[in-house]
Amino acid sequence: MLLTIDIGGTSVKTALWDAGNLSLKKSFATPDSWEGLKKAIVESVNNYRLYADITGVAFSVPGIPNQVSGRVEGASSLYYIHEPNFLGEISALVKLPLSFENDANCACWAEMNQPECRCIKNLLMLVIGTGIGGSVVYNREIISGSHNFAGEFGMMLVDGHNELAKLGSAVHMARYLSKQKGKELSGEEAFDLAEKGDREAILAVNKLYHYLALGIYNLQYILDPELIIIGGGIAAKPDLVHNINAAMDEILQYGQRSPLKPKIVTAYYGNDANLLGAGYYFQKYNA
């Protein structure tokens, strides 16, 4: 039985993981220091030991886990986890086998093991939030690239010198619309305005779908995946895939385009994806 821990910017989620099933899910506010986080992790391990024989702890973390040094490289809102030897210090406290993987990759590990994806060898996962990140899967392995930048889809330049992370993010779309309206709007409020027929909101939302479709089109012809999965908050919109496909149809009409149309789906797992994926990662590399 594994203990899986998903460390986020505002909360830490925990659960027991057994063959892809989660139980005893809990959460607590993310501590504001490394010492506080270590203490909370030790307490969680000890508490879960009352219910199960814990054979290892699998972490989902923001940033870039260095599997050699045990450190979490890169940058995130949790600045303090990037300084210490993450695995080394926690291992000394809990005396159990550990693993850690990037949070977006953990979500991808979960999706790779959902029923409809178990036979798919090559796929992409886009996680759309404030920015756009994700994972590249080739032959059932997540590819990190020579500089650990594989999956940084948001850095793709579209429409001149603009990054996809800005043009294809609902957060940035809402900020743009807020300036037009002269009041602060969330992404959900922007979508609501569009559904009610607000002309400016409709234009902003349609641009969002256009740029997402354009980015996905480029990724399809560069990497040629069997499937593209969209996760993140926007994936909860029931008409997301329909609207991206509609925008894709318009792109495919420009000039001479290949008849290959990307196959797009929304993520199967919701808030549990990181916990599930962390367990699958541990199982694959620590078994």
Tens-place pLDDT, residues 235-265: 999 999 999 999 999 999 886 667 789 999 9
Tell me the one-letter amino acid at 269: Y
Does CATH number 3.30.420.40 belong to domain 2-102+278-286? Answer: yes
Place of tokens 């814990």: 54
For the stretch 189-198, contacts whose Cβ atoms lie closer than 8 Å and that sit 24 or more positions apart, written own/partner, are 191/237
C-alpha–C-alpha distance, residues 140 and 32, integer Å: 36
Which residue ranges make up each domain of the chain? 2-102+278-286, 115-267
Q: Which residues, other chains included, contact 244 with Cβ-Cβ below 8 Å and sequence gap of 6+?
A: 209, 212, 213, 216, 230, 264
CATH class for the region spanning 115-267: alpha beta
pLDDT (tens place) for every residue of the chain, 287 residues total: 999 999 998 899 999 999 999 999 999 999 999 999 999 999 999 999 999 999 999 999 998 899 999 999 988 889 999 999 999 999 999 999 999 999 999 999 999 999 889 999 999 999 998 889 899 999 999 999 998 889 999 999 998 899 999 999 999 999 999 999 999 999 999 999 999 999 999 999 999 999 999 999 999 999 999 999 999 889 999 999 999 999 999 999 886 667 789 999 999 998 899 999 999 999 998 86
Do 2-102+278-286 and 115-267 agree at the fold level?
yes
